[in-house]
Structure 1
Amino acid sequence: MMALSELSEVVKGQLQGEDATFAAVSTDTRTINPGDVFFALRGERFNAADFVAQAAEKGAAGVVVDAPVDIPVPQIQVADTRIALADFARAWRAQSDSKLIGITGSNGKTTVKELTAAICRVAFGEDRVLATQGNLNNDIGLPLTLLNLRDNHAVAVV
Protein backbone atom coordinates (compact mmCIF):
# COMPACT_ATOMS: atom_id res chain seq x y z
CA MET A 1 0.00 0.00 0.00
CA MET A 2 1.12 3.50 -0.76
CA ALA A 3 -0.39 6.90 0.00
CA LEU A 4 -1.49 9.28 -2.74
CA SER A 5 0.60 11.97 -1.01
CA GLU A 6 3.72 9.81 -1.51
CA LEU A 7 2.82 9.20 -5.15
CA SER A 8 2.27 12.93 -5.61
CA GLU A 9 5.82 13.63 -4.40
CA VAL A 10 7.33 10.96 -6.66
CA VAL A 11 5.56 12.24 -9.79
CA LYS A 12 6.03 15.92 -8.87
CA GLY A 13 2.29 16.46 -8.84
CA GLN A 14 -0.23 18.43 -6.85
CA LEU A 15 -2.62 16.38 -4.71
CA GLN A 16 -6.15 17.78 -4.62
CA GLY A 17 -8.50 16.21 -2.08
CA GLU A 18 -7.93 13.94 0.88
CA ASP A 19 -5.01 11.56 1.10
CA ALA A 20 -5.84 7.89 0.60
CA THR A 21 -3.93 4.65 0.11
CA PHE A 22 -3.85 2.44 -2.96
CA ALA A 23 -2.40 -0.95 -3.80
CA ALA A 24 -2.31 -0.99 -7.60
CA VAL A 25 -2.26 1.17 -10.71
CA SER A 26 -4.59 1.09 -13.70
CA THR A 27 -4.64 2.83 -17.06
CA ASP A 28 -7.83 1.15 -18.25
CA THR A 29 -11.24 1.67 -16.64
CA ARG A 30 -12.42 -1.66 -18.06
CA THR A 31 -10.05 -3.50 -15.72
CA ILE A 32 -9.74 -1.09 -12.78
CA ASN A 33 -10.36 -2.50 -9.31
CA PRO A 34 -11.68 -0.64 -6.26
CA GLY A 35 -8.77 1.03 -4.47
CA ASP A 36 -6.58 1.37 -7.58
CA VAL A 37 -5.15 4.69 -8.70
CA PHE A 38 -6.06 5.56 -12.30
CA PHE A 39 -3.52 7.22 -14.60
CA ALA A 40 -5.47 9.15 -17.26
CA LEU A 41 -3.11 8.79 -20.23
CA ARG A 42 -3.44 10.68 -23.50
CA GLY A 43 -2.86 9.04 -26.85
CA GLU A 44 -3.19 9.95 -30.49
CA ARG A 45 -6.76 8.66 -30.59
CA PHE A 46 -7.87 8.86 -26.97
CA ASN A 47 -7.79 10.93 -23.83
CA ALA A 48 -8.34 8.81 -20.75
CA ALA A 49 -9.34 11.95 -18.84
CA ASP A 50 -12.70 11.32 -20.53
CA PHE A 51 -12.97 8.20 -18.36
CA VAL A 52 -12.01 9.53 -14.91
CA ALA A 53 -15.67 9.68 -13.82
CA GLN A 54 -15.98 6.00 -14.73
CA ALA A 55 -12.82 5.26 -12.70
CA ALA A 56 -14.36 7.09 -9.74
CA GLU A 57 -17.62 5.13 -10.11
CA LYS A 58 -15.63 1.88 -10.04
CA GLY A 59 -13.99 2.84 -6.74
CA ALA A 60 -10.66 4.37 -7.74
CA ALA A 61 -8.73 5.62 -4.72
CA GLY A 62 -7.54 8.54 -6.83
CA VAL A 63 -6.69 9.65 -10.33
CA VAL A 64 -3.58 11.13 -11.95
CA VAL A 65 -4.54 13.76 -14.51
CA ASP A 66 -2.92 16.54 -16.54
CA ALA A 67 -5.83 18.94 -16.01
CA PRO A 68 -8.32 19.35 -13.15
CA VAL A 69 -11.47 17.24 -13.34
CA ASP A 70 -14.73 17.52 -11.43
CA ILE A 71 -15.02 14.15 -9.68
CA PRO A 72 -15.52 13.14 -6.03
CA VAL A 73 -12.16 11.36 -5.61
CA PRO A 74 -8.70 12.74 -4.91
CA GLN A 75 -6.65 13.70 -7.93
CA ILE A 76 -2.99 14.32 -8.56
CA GLN A 77 -2.42 16.92 -11.23
CA VAL A 78 0.81 16.54 -13.23
CA ALA A 79 2.23 18.11 -16.38
CA ASP A 80 2.22 14.81 -18.31
CA THR A 81 0.56 11.60 -17.12
CA ARG A 82 2.79 9.36 -19.26
CA ILE A 83 5.92 10.85 -17.72
CA ALA A 84 4.33 10.55 -14.28
CA LEU A 85 3.67 6.84 -14.87
CA ALA A 86 7.30 6.35 -15.93
CA ASP A 87 8.60 8.32 -12.93
CA PHE A 88 6.50 6.23 -10.56
CA ALA A 89 7.73 2.99 -12.14
CA ARG A 90 11.33 4.20 -11.91
CA ALA A 91 10.94 5.01 -8.20
CA TRP A 92 9.16 1.70 -7.54
CA ARG A 93 11.93 -0.21 -9.32
CA ALA A 94 14.62 1.66 -7.38
CA GLN A 95 13.33 0.31 -4.06
CA SER A 96 13.47 -3.31 -5.27
CA ASP A 97 16.41 -5.68 -4.88
CA SER A 98 15.25 -7.75 -7.87
CA LYS A 99 17.63 -8.21 -10.77
CA LEU A 100 16.43 -6.69 -14.02
CA ILE A 101 16.98 -8.25 -17.43
CA GLY A 102 16.10 -5.90 -20.28
CA ILE A 103 15.58 -7.24 -23.79
CA THR A 104 15.99 -4.74 -26.64
CA GLY A 105 16.28 -4.85 -30.41
CA SER A 106 14.33 -4.58 -33.63
CA ASN A 107 13.09 -8.16 -33.99
CA GLY A 108 12.52 -11.14 -31.72
CA LYS A 109 12.21 -9.30 -28.39
CA THR A 110 9.08 -11.14 -27.28
CA THR A 111 10.51 -14.57 -28.14
CA VAL A 112 13.82 -13.85 -26.38
CA LYS A 113 11.94 -12.41 -23.39
CA GLU A 114 9.79 -15.55 -23.11
CA LEU A 115 12.81 -17.87 -23.39
CA THR A 116 14.77 -15.83 -20.83
CA ALA A 117 11.81 -15.81 -18.44
CA ALA A 118 11.42 -19.60 -18.82
CA ILE A 119 15.09 -20.13 -17.95
CA CYS A 120 14.77 -17.81 -14.96
CA ARG A 121 11.66 -19.67 -13.74
CA VAL A 122 13.65 -22.91 -13.72
CA ALA A 123 16.54 -21.22 -11.90
CA PHE A 124 14.57 -19.11 -9.38
CA GLY A 125 11.10 -20.66 -9.19
CA GLU A 126 7.82 -19.87 -10.94
CA ASP A 127 6.61 -17.21 -8.52
CA ARG A 128 9.99 -15.45 -8.26
CA VAL A 129 10.07 -14.21 -11.87
CA LEU A 130 8.18 -11.23 -13.25
CA ALA A 131 8.00 -10.89 -17.03
CA THR A 132 6.30 -8.43 -19.33
CA GLN A 133 2.99 -9.89 -20.50
CA GLY A 134 2.81 -10.48 -24.26
CA ASN A 135 4.51 -7.74 -26.23
CA LEU A 136 3.73 -4.82 -23.92
CA ASN A 137 7.23 -3.46 -24.42
CA ASN A 138 6.36 0.22 -24.83
CA ASP A 139 6.21 3.39 -22.75
CA ILE A 140 3.02 2.20 -21.05
CA GLY A 141 3.56 -1.57 -20.78
CA LEU A 142 7.08 -1.36 -19.34
CA PRO A 143 6.14 0.93 -16.42
CA LEU A 144 3.04 -1.17 -15.69
CA THR A 145 5.20 -4.30 -15.61
CA LEU A 146 7.73 -2.70 -13.25
CA LEU A 147 4.90 -1.56 -10.97
CA ASN A 148 4.04 -5.25 -10.50
CA LEU A 149 7.44 -5.94 -8.90
CA ARG A 150 6.98 -7.43 -5.43
CA ASP A 151 9.37 -8.55 -2.70
CA ASN A 152 9.07 -12.19 -3.78
CA HIS A 153 10.49 -11.48 -7.26
CA ALA A 154 14.15 -12.40 -7.68
CA VAL A 155 14.25 -11.19 -11.28
CA ALA A 156 12.20 -9.17 -13.75
CA VAL A 157 12.47 -9.81 -17.49
CA VAL A 158 11.30 -6.87 -19.56
Structure 2
Amino acid sequence: MSSGQGSDRQSKLLHAWQLALLRLAITLEEADRLNVLAIAGEADRLAANQRGAASFRFFRRTSVELSLAILGASADADTVLRRFHAQIDHPTLKRAFGAAVGIKAQHHARHGMTICSGELPSWKVYALSCPPDMSSPPDCPRAA
Protein backbone atom coordinates (compact mmCIF):
# COMPACT_ATOMS: atom_id res chain seq x y z
CA MET A 1 0.00 0.00 0.00
CA SER A 2 1.45 3.37 -0.95
CA SER A 3 1.67 6.18 1.61
CA GLY A 4 -1.04 8.12 -0.29
CA GLN A 5 -3.47 5.22 0.04
CA GLY A 6 -2.48 4.79 3.69
CA SER A 7 -3.10 8.41 4.58
CA ASP A 8 -6.45 8.37 2.72
CA ARG A 9 -7.51 5.27 4.65
CA GLN A 10 -6.26 6.84 7.87
CA SER A 11 -8.24 10.02 7.15
CA LYS A 12 -11.43 8.06 6.42
CA LEU A 13 -10.94 6.00 9.56
CA LEU A 14 -10.45 9.13 11.67
CA HIS A 15 -13.65 10.61 10.24
CA ALA A 16 -15.55 7.34 10.89
CA TRP A 17 -14.26 7.35 14.49
CA GLN A 18 -15.40 10.94 15.01
CA LEU A 19 -18.83 10.11 13.53
CA ALA A 20 -19.08 7.08 15.80
CA LEU A 21 -18.33 9.29 18.81
CA LEU A 22 -21.05 11.70 17.65
CA ARG A 23 -23.50 8.81 17.39
CA LEU A 24 -22.56 7.68 20.91
CA ALA A 25 -23.08 11.22 22.20
CA ILE A 26 -26.57 11.24 20.67
CA THR A 27 -27.77 7.74 21.57
CA LEU A 28 -25.70 6.86 24.68
CA GLU A 29 -26.20 3.22 23.66
CA GLU A 30 -23.82 0.40 24.55
CA ALA A 31 -23.78 -0.79 20.93
CA ASP A 32 -22.52 2.61 19.81
CA ARG A 33 -19.84 2.61 22.52
CA LEU A 34 -18.67 -0.78 21.29
CA ASN A 35 -18.63 0.52 17.71
CA VAL A 36 -16.39 3.43 18.80
CA LEU A 37 -14.00 0.96 20.42
CA ALA A 38 -13.97 -1.29 17.34
CA ILE A 39 -13.08 1.62 15.05
CA ALA A 40 -10.48 2.79 17.57
CA GLY A 41 -8.89 -0.67 17.53
CA GLU A 42 -8.70 -0.59 13.73
CA ALA A 43 -7.19 2.91 13.79
CA ASP A 44 -4.58 1.79 16.33
CA ARG A 45 -3.70 -1.28 14.21
CA LEU A 46 -3.29 0.89 11.12
CA ALA A 47 -1.11 3.40 12.98
CA ALA A 48 0.96 0.61 14.57
CA ASN A 49 1.61 -0.94 11.14
CA GLN A 50 2.65 2.39 9.64
CA ARG A 51 4.86 3.37 12.57
CA GLY A 52 6.20 -0.04 13.47
CA ALA A 53 5.04 0.34 17.06
CA ALA A 54 3.23 -2.83 18.07
CA SER A 55 1.69 -1.34 21.22
CA PHE A 56 0.09 1.79 19.74
CA ARG A 57 -3.13 2.39 21.73
CA PHE A 58 -3.91 6.09 21.30
CA PHE A 59 -7.39 5.69 19.79
CA ARG A 60 -8.50 2.98 22.21
CA ARG A 61 -7.27 4.94 25.22
CA THR A 62 -8.83 8.17 23.93
CA SER A 63 -12.09 6.37 23.09
CA VAL A 64 -12.41 5.04 26.62
CA GLU A 65 -11.73 8.51 28.02
CA LEU A 66 -14.25 10.14 25.65
CA SER A 67 -16.87 7.44 26.23
CA LEU A 68 -16.69 7.94 29.99
CA ALA A 69 -16.96 11.71 29.51
CA ILE A 70 -19.92 11.40 27.12
CA LEU A 71 -21.72 9.05 29.50
CA GLY A 72 -21.07 11.41 32.43
CA ALA A 73 -18.89 8.92 34.31
CA SER A 74 -15.79 11.11 34.39
CA ALA A 75 -14.88 13.85 36.86
CA ASP A 76 -13.21 15.92 34.13
CA ALA A 77 -15.85 15.24 31.45
CA ASP A 78 -16.24 18.87 30.41
CA THR A 79 -12.49 19.32 29.85
CA VAL A 80 -12.19 16.05 27.91
CA LEU A 81 -15.17 16.86 25.68
CA ARG A 82 -14.03 20.44 25.02
CA ARG A 83 -10.53 19.27 24.11
CA PHE A 84 -11.91 16.72 21.63
CA HIS A 85 -14.40 19.25 20.25
CA ALA A 86 -11.58 21.74 19.62
CA GLN A 87 -9.70 19.14 17.56
CA ILE A 88 -12.55 18.37 15.15
CA ASP A 89 -11.75 19.97 11.78
CA HIS A 90 -15.02 19.32 9.93
CA PRO A 91 -17.32 22.31 10.73
CA THR A 92 -20.63 20.43 10.51
CA LEU A 93 -19.35 17.54 12.59
CA LYS A 94 -17.93 20.01 15.11
CA ARG A 95 -21.28 21.81 15.48
CA ALA A 96 -23.20 18.54 15.75
CA PHE A 97 -20.85 17.09 18.37
CA GLY A 98 -20.89 20.33 20.34
CA ALA A 99 -24.68 20.35 20.33
CA ALA A 100 -24.85 16.68 21.34
CA VAL A 101 -22.60 17.15 24.37
CA GLY A 102 -23.82 20.61 25.35
CA ILE A 103 -20.90 22.75 24.21
CA LYS A 104 -22.23 26.14 23.22
CA ALA A 105 -21.32 27.47 19.80
CA GLN A 106 -18.89 30.35 19.89
CA HIS A 107 -19.47 32.16 16.63
CA HIS A 108 -21.50 31.82 13.47
CA ALA A 109 -19.29 33.08 10.66
CA ARG A 110 -22.06 33.42 8.08
CA HIS A 111 -23.98 36.08 9.97
CA GLY A 112 -21.22 37.29 12.30
CA MET A 113 -23.10 36.52 15.48
CA THR A 114 -22.86 34.41 18.56
CA ILE A 115 -25.56 31.77 18.41
CA CYS A 116 -25.83 30.30 21.87
CA SER A 117 -24.91 33.23 24.08
CA GLY A 118 -28.18 35.07 23.66
CA GLU A 119 -27.05 37.47 20.94
CA LEU A 120 -29.56 37.36 18.13
CA PRO A 121 -29.09 38.54 14.56
CA SER A 122 -30.70 41.72 13.43
CA TRP A 123 -34.03 41.52 11.61
CA LYS A 124 -32.11 42.28 8.40
CA VAL A 125 -30.54 38.83 8.45
CA TYR A 126 -33.97 37.24 8.59
CA ALA A 127 -35.42 39.63 6.05
CA LEU A 128 -32.71 38.70 3.58
CA SER A 129 -33.45 35.02 4.06
CA CYS A 130 -37.19 35.34 3.26
CA PRO A 131 -38.10 34.70 -0.36
CA PRO A 132 -39.21 37.96 -2.03
CA ASP A 133 -42.37 36.42 -3.47
CA MET A 134 -43.78 35.56 -0.04
CA SER A 135 -46.47 38.11 0.78
CA SER A 136 -46.95 37.54 4.49
CA PRO A 137 -45.61 34.33 5.98
CA PRO A 138 -45.96 34.34 9.78
CA ASP A 139 -42.25 33.88 10.47
CA CYS A 140 -40.93 36.38 7.92
CA PRO A 141 -39.98 39.85 9.26
CA ARG A 142 -41.02 41.37 5.94
CA ALA A 143 -44.63 40.68 6.85
CA ALA A 144 -44.46 43.17 9.71
TM score, norm. by length of structure 2: 0.27
- Please state which structure has a larger fraction of its residues in strand: 1
Q: Give the alignment's TM-score, normalised by structure 1.
A: 0.26
Q: Relative contact order: is structure 1 or structure 2 higher (C-alpha 8 Å, sep ≥ 6)?
A: 1
Max Rg structure: 2
